[in-house]
A and B are shown apart, each in its own frame.
Chain A
Amino acid sequence: MIPEDLKYTDQHEWVRVQADTATVGITDYAQKELGDIVYVELPSVGSATVAKKAFGVVEAVKTVSDLYAPVSGEVTETNEGLGTDASIVNKSPYDQGWMIKIKMSNPSELDSLLSPADYRKLTGKE
């Protein structure tokens, strides 16, 4: 599943833009590759993100993967629900499994992200 209203990174994160806020999570492709997710390590509210740099970690039973920020800015909110049940990311990667909200410092960074069509090509999936 690759929603049309989102932008994507080549590290399998998605971005939903509303005014100057970017909501970030991992894609359906990513959650399938990882398998059962048991823990998500997120930055604290107020910390800075730098485009293309790691902002956290997602842990599955057998593997661990870094999470990469699609844009630079300040973390304004994190999804605390993931602390109690990280499997929400597997069940609802684009909706309830959102991870952080970033107040963008440089919205032009969005231009270098992948469109749904580009992401479709990258993953070879619908």
Chain B
Amino acid sequence: MVKETPLVERHRELGAKFVEFAGWLMPIQYTGLLEEHKAVREAVGLFDVSHMGEIWLRGPNGVRAANRLVTNSISSLEPGASLYSPMCNEHGGIVDDVLVYRVGEDALFVVNASNTDKDLEWIRSHCDKDVRVENLSMETVQLALQGPKTEDVLKRVGLGNLVSVGHNRHERVSVQGMEALASRTGYTGEDGFEFYYKRNGSERVAERVWDALFDAGASLGLKPIGLGARDTLRFEMGYCLYGNDIDDTTTPLEAGLGWTVKLDKGDFVGKDALVKQKASGLKRKLVGIEMLEHAIPRKGCPIAIEGREIGVVTSGSFSPSLHKGLAMGYVPPENSQAGNEISIVVRGKGFRACVTKLPFYKCGSRK
């Protein structure tokens, strides 16, 4: 049984093309991938991302339990703040990459739709009985408003006070009479907010919030955005996609996420493995790659140097903002410096490319 978000009728009315993703019926595009991508980079876009999972760790030890599950430091996270972190297994491999919110004395994990069940099982098995693990994924609507004109939209729906909220911070607000958590976070590299609110019995309620933001943004160029453009937007920023660039065989150190690993905080799952890996050195590194001649790299394309395969592409696409083929992939550390020339094998033929620093897109409005 495929799951539907409470906004599925709105997507149908807007002419969305649907795709089944992680057991959910999701809009992949409305007016077109390039047009939607451009709308987010130049104006503002509205995404229904209710398929994502929301898992709460409650109780006086919720925050402490969260800190033992992720590599980043949660105990130093104040209420009203959030951070991005991988959650590792004992080998240092990534179980999922999550956003952790400190909401009062509770911790909220926002997880990938494709990993919600796995993460719930993982979190439960790594928490003591004094932590109440609550899965509210099916009861939470999540919308993302992203783009340089975000603040203009907020002012038009009576949420002008959110303008002063800093990046990675959140507040409780009232949108159309609905209580919501509004956080200045996103997956696009643009300024924006993500809104979380209770699904409730009636779909009308969820639609009210969507409609309010949609109507407020209409004259500003707001467009509904599907998963297709969501992927090209994150990809241009070099943000990892679980299942592509990271999985349970890749460590945060290999994936360029060393900045999220706080080895000087207390114990956490995977710490020993990561300490060992740091000491012995990495065997591969995730890098950004830009094509020097026309070809569009795709996931799985071999990366080669002088005919010798040295790595593989984990994410690849045409970049709508930069008008060229780009890739993310793993290469040996000795080939990972920006400027290094390599070749990407696309459908059996090698094309010239070079390693480049991330993010690919450097003009994002993210605060």
Chain A positions within 8 Å of B, measured between CB atoms, are 35-36, 38-39, 57, 59-62, 64, 87
Contact = CB atoms under 8 A, between A and B. Distances in A.
B33 A36 contact: yes
B298 A36 contact: no
B298 A61 contact: no
Given A35-B29, A38-B318, A61 B294 contact: no
Contacts of A35: 29, 32-33, 228
A36 B317 contact: no
Contacts of B318: 38-39, 59, 61
Contacts of A64: 296, 298, 347
A58 to B, nearest CB: 11
Contacts of A36: 32-35
A101 to B, nearest CB: 23
A117 B29 CA distance: 29
B232 interface: yes
Contacts of A38: 296, 318
B229 to A, nearest CB: 9
A64 B34 CA distance: 16
10 contacts: A36-B32, A39-B318, A60-B33, A61-B33, A61-B232, A61-B318, A62-B33, A62-B317, A64-B298, A64-B347
Contacts of A57: 347
Contacts of A87: 34
A62 B228 contact: yes
A59 B296 contact: yes
A60 B29 CA distance: 14
Q: Which DSSP category, helix, strand, loop or mixed, fits chain A's interface?
A: strand
Determine the interface band of chain B, counting residues with CB < 8 A from chain A.
10 to 19
B117 to A, nearest CB: 26
Interface string B330-352: 00000000000000000100000
A67 to B, nearest CB: 13
A62 B244 CA distance: 14
**What are the nearest 4 A-B pairs in CB distance?**
A36-B34, A61-B318, A38-B318, A36-B33
Contacts of B35: 36
A39 B228 contact: no
A39 B34 CA distance: 13
A12 to B, nearest CB: 17
B320 interface: yes
Contacts of A61: 33-34, 228, 232, 317-318, 320
B193 to A, nearest CB: 26
A82 to B, nearest CB: 13
A87 B34 CA distance: 10
- Most chain-A Cβ atoms within 10 A of its Cβ — which of B294, B296, B317? B296
Contacts of B228: 35, 61-62
A94 B231 CA distance: 30
A97 to B, nearest CB: 16
A35 B227 CA distance: 13
A113 to B, nearest CB: 27
A93 to B, nearest CB: 15
Interface string B94-137: 00000000000000000000000000000000000000000000
- Most chain-B Cβ atoms within 10 A of its Cβ — which of A39, A61, A62? A61
Contacts of B32: 35-36
Contacts of A60: 33
B318 to A, nearest CB: 5
A39 B294 contact: yes
Contacts of B320: 61
Nearest to B35: A36
A56 to B, nearest CB: 12
B241 to A, nearest CB: 13
A87 B318 CA distance: 14
Interface in B213-233: 228, 231-232
Nearest to A35: B33
Nearest to A38: B318
B200 to A, nearest CB: 34
A87 B29 CA distance: 17
Nearest to B34: A36
A83 to B, nearest CB: 10
A64 B347 CA distance: 10
Nearest to B323: A38
Interface in B17-51: 29, 32-35
B33 A39 contact: no
